Amino acid sequence: MKTEKAQRGNPLNRALAGSGFRMTRQRQTVYDTLMSQRDHPTADEVFGRVKKNMPSISLATVYNCLDKLVECGLVRQVNRDRDSTRYCANLREHGHFYCRDCGTVHDIDLPSGRPAELGLSLPPGFRVDHMDVNLRGVCPECGARGQS
């Protein structure tokens, strides 16, 4: 059995293999930034964090890097109402929980399986490729605050 690390490989290189996507230092830095703090930052927030390691980078470049990473499937865009787009580098199938009090976005594991197995009944002939699960409510911290 191989080590866990070898089995997983570098998801970045795996996703990029054959996609024609070129990993530049800037894209790598933007991706690393998203991976290191998985709180679904907006592009502005990503810019602020990337700038610490790469002071010369511009907001336009960060937007461009994010676009490319989304395009090749390494990063997901998370949109909520008219809120700024947020970015998520968690590639596992998951849903998002939005706290209505503090505005944070949490990753929620989804049960694996097809929609029928999840209790959804689709009309005959429909086939699901992708599910977007968005939940709203109150996170544990805000819930605890409300009770005190």
Tell me the C-alpha distance between 17 and 142, whole Å.
42
In the block, which residue shows the tokens 């795996």? 14
The CB-of-44 to Zn ion minimum distance in angstroms stands at 18
Q: Where are the beta strands (DSSP E) in the chain?
A: 76-78, 86-88, 94-99, 105-109, 134-137
Pull the structure tokens for residue 75. Answer: 């990063």
Residues in 36-95 that interact with Zn ion by CB under 5 A: 88, 90
Contacts (CB under 5 A) with Zn ion, residues 84-103: 88, 90, 99, 101-102
Pattern 104-133, Zn ion, x by CB under 5 A:
---x--------------------------
Q: Closer CB to Zn ion, residue 113 or residue 140?
A: 140
Could you give the angle at the alpha carbon of 112 between the alpha carbons of 19 and 131, nearest 5°?
60
Q: Which residues bind Zn ion (CB under 5 A)?
A: 88, 90, 99, 101-102, 107, 139, 142
